[in-house]
Structure 1
């Protein structure tokens, strides 16, 4: 869809709010699933959130109309959620979505983590999460789902099988989840994606909570755990609570606002659950691209971030392995590039393209600049994989034996094999992932 068509559709939607012409339409960077477009109308700034295609909405528990209603309820409950103006209609001609008032602040995790008072942000994040968890069912659409924990684990298992069922570490996580499903608690509204990247901050204050498409009723520990996953801490692996501070401070602030006590065992269960969930979510991105639902470059690159979650998952689960297995160091050396003396090798051709794209960095802006960075990441993955990646991190037979209980972390040598494969794959996919350095130090004894 052209920007002219999008602008015309926005103005048809804006007419329902008594506003007219829109200006300065610009695609915002980021967004693993939905598109976000910022624009101005009559001196005010707004954001359009829309699906990349109508097919992209298939299979979701609720649509944008319900998502907008959830955001409105959160806004009314004192959450720093945006004000929704209008939901797109078929006659607008630009698909499924809604328009909301733009909020101040940046969503850039690294900019947020560099702010002067991360502890203050963490307290405000805990406050808003407690307020989200206080919103009652009567204030929300009827189609907001209630999560059944065992059904959730089974759904993950089915997704794993559909994706090939050949990743032993994910199989290990699924087996652990099936064996450790906790008893149900009184369900609360979960944001479902509460983390850095989906919040706005300015001057060490929380200014917005975005992206409510995964909202559901369930265990409050799920929301607490998801934002604390290593992948969402970005450069601050050393700060386990959203990259902003300690778990102790986060839990204390949440408990003071909500009146609920945080249970470490439930927190661990949901940490494992959401790590498996996001690993499978990353894999699915490649399927969206293959089926043509969304041919954006981000899809295939995000799919390779599965290896981040596999390493994180193994670090979560390895405490269940025997002490003698945990104490065995892993012998691991990153692959070396092999360059010939004759015509250019494949890795050299890819490197040449990567360097040329780097020279274009100052010549593009907005979403194209973001896409350029993603393209260079994709080429980096291809260069490293072409150098040497044996591929034994994929094994359907081992995955099945883990799922069936024939093998586990109690099996001699299993932990070492999984550690080596996790290091090998992530060194190719995302060698700058902060947890990789921590894992290498822990598992190999190297600094």
Structure 2
């Protein structure tokens, strides 16, 4: 079903839902871009603008820790605590016939990371981000529904290990990271409410001010350092790899602002643990996207493309872990194979993929909204196919992964770190060659400028 057909179906269901609170039916329904798991639809009614957040079916929610009713209650509690969270005006009901979800009053600002990073006062946004996180972390068990889960650190690491094994257990860099987690689990800290997905892409900003915090579906109780670390991952800094705090500024400024607002001291060791934990979590989350697609459960194009972003996290993970290697291994030369390939005669597979991508580019002005976004995703997928045909990186090695996970090999093993560095660079060069951390890694590891 295309976005146009969906909009017609959603319009009828929304009209039923809005009638319950005395509002007329929706107008100008448009699907917002992004949203690999949930859909967001913008519409107007009674002279105001709202956003519907929904899952396409009730079955889609069956394996989640809590439903949209709890998510909406968390948002309401956060808003009451002074967080720049949206105002939820109603929850969908089964009789509305459009799945599970809720409606929020639209907030000003843009979620576009690049637009936010280009604003004049990123430091001010960072201070407001730290303020909002501190307010989220002030919420206790009595403030939210009882089904909001608490993460047990060791159970969380074991769950990642199980997920890794279910995905083949053959990625040496992820295995190395899992071994590190198992060896460095911190003591439990008094849990606080975590947003769970606090990063660029899930916040709104306007005129160098934070105007909204979105996407609360991963909220849980746990270590506050987890929330602090997640938004600082390299993948969520986008073009500003040089600004380690959400792409907006320095960690020192970020921690100072958070400590002032929360009265809680930031522990760098715990921050590092959760940065590594969440990097592995997202690497495995990317892998799982392909499994969703293969199962037929969700054939969304974005899922297969996101699955290839595992290589971003593998490189980020190795850059986080290498500081534990002996100096002689960190200094060892990284040798990359010759990736050049010249084709003669009939068109090659990468040339055909490139030709299709160039043709799709001619259609972008004919599409709008989510369809235009999907076209960009399709072009990215074709680019991956073209590059991988020239380069088939040996990123899978079951025996090496098992040895690393068992602790039989480590970063102290001669030549291993250099080999993993070459593996990470090759794979990411095929998958996402414009990833900012790749340039930093090439400069650091092979002296490329």
> What TM-score results when the alignment is normalised by the length of structure 2?
0.98
Runs of 4+ that moved beyond 3 A: none
Distance 1:199 1:135 in 2: 19
Alignment pair present for 1:124 and 2:125: no
Pairs aligned (count): 445
CA gap 1:432/1:334 in 2 versus in 1, 3 angstroms: farther
Distance 1:258 1:329 in 2: 45
What secondary structure does 1:196 align onto?
Answer: coil
What secondary structure does 1:37 align onto?
Answer: strand
Deviation sequence 1:87-143 (CA, Å, 0-9, x none): 111100001111111100000000000000000000000000000000111010000
Given that residues 56 and 98 in structure 2 are in contact (C-alpha distance below 8 angstroms), is that contact kept between their aligned partners in structure 1? Answer: no
Q: Structure 2 residue aligned with 1:395, among 397, 418, 427? A: 397
Alpha-carbon deviation of 1:334? 6.3
Alpha-carbon deviation of 1:338? 2.9
Task: Name the stretch that deviates more: 208-217 or 364-373.
Answer: 364-373
**Structure 2 segments unaligned to the other structure (5+ residues):** none
2:86 match? 82
1:110 match? 114
Alpha-carbon deviation of 1:337? 3.8
Given that residues 329 and 445 in structure 1 are in contact (C-alpha distance below 8 angstroms), is that contact kept between their aligned partners in structure 2? Answer: no
Distance 2:246 2:151 in 1: 24
Given that residues 57 and 98 in structure 2 are in contact (C-alpha distance below 8 angstroms), is that contact kept between their aligned partners in structure 1? Answer: no
Distance 1:292 1:77 in 2: 41
**Structure 1 segments unaligned to the other structure (5+ residues):** none
Q: Structure 2 residue aligned with 1:21, among 21, 25, 38? A: 25
> What TM-score results when the alignment is normalised by the length of structure 1?
0.98
Distance 1:128 1:9 in 2: 34
Alpha-carbon deviation of 1:364? 1.0
Given that residues 329 and 415 in structure 2 are in contact (C-alpha distance below 8 angstroms), is that contact kept between their aligned partners in structure 1? Answer: yes
CA gap 1:334/1:21 in 2 versus in 1, 3 angstroms: farther
CA gap 1:308/1:334 in 2 versus in 1, 3 angstroms: farther
Given that residues 55 and 101 in structure 2 are in contact (C-alpha distance below 8 angstroms), is that contact kept between their aligned partners in structure 1? Answer: yes
Alignment pair present for 1:251 and 2:255: yes
Q: Structure 2 residue aligned with 1:226, among 230, 247, 271? A: 230
2:415 match? 413
Paired residues for 1:369-380 under 5 Å: 369-380=372-383
2:325 match? 321
CA RMSD of aligned residues (A): 0.9
Distance 2:445 2:32 in 1: 39
Q: Structure 2 residue aligned with 1:290, among 288, 294, 309? A: 294
What secondary structure does 1:85 align onto?
Answer: strand
Distance 1:158 1:408 in 2: 21
2:370 match? 367
Alpha-carbon deviation of 1:55? 2.9
What secondary structure does 1:86 align onto?
Answer: strand
